[in-house]
Amino acid sequence: EKKEEGEEEFSAKFETSDRLLLSVALGVLVGFSNRLRALGIELESVNVSDRLKQIFRLVSLDRAFGPL
């Protein structure tokens, strides 16, 4: 199925904004977890999907959360 030029442009912009949103969300999550740890609150990951664990490892969040 051939996409029109406008559709490809929209798809590329959506993908870029999606990645930006994910990056911001992960950054907020790291900041939040670091803040909790600084307050002495222990964090535990429960019911985290394998895909999300993989993403955490890829962006070094495993250092913030400890071993998953």
pLDDT for 14 equals 63
Low-confidence ranges of the chain (pLDDT < 70): 1-14, 56-57, 59-68
Structure tokens belonging to residue 8 = 């490809």
User: Half-sphere exposure of residue 22, counting CA atoms within 13 Å on the CB side?
Assistant: 10
Angle made by CA atoms 5, 6, 12, in degrees to the nearest 5 = 95
pLDDT for 45 equals 77
Q: Which long-range contacts (CB under 8 A, 24 or more apart) does 1-4 make?
A: none
Q: For position 32, what pLDDT does the model report? A: 86
Enclosing domain of residue 56: 5-65
pTM score of the predicted model: 0.51
Residue 16 identity? T
> Can you give the pLDDT at residue 39?
92
**Number of structural domains in the chain:** 1
Q: CA-to-CA distance for 4 and 32, rounded, in angstroms?
A: 42
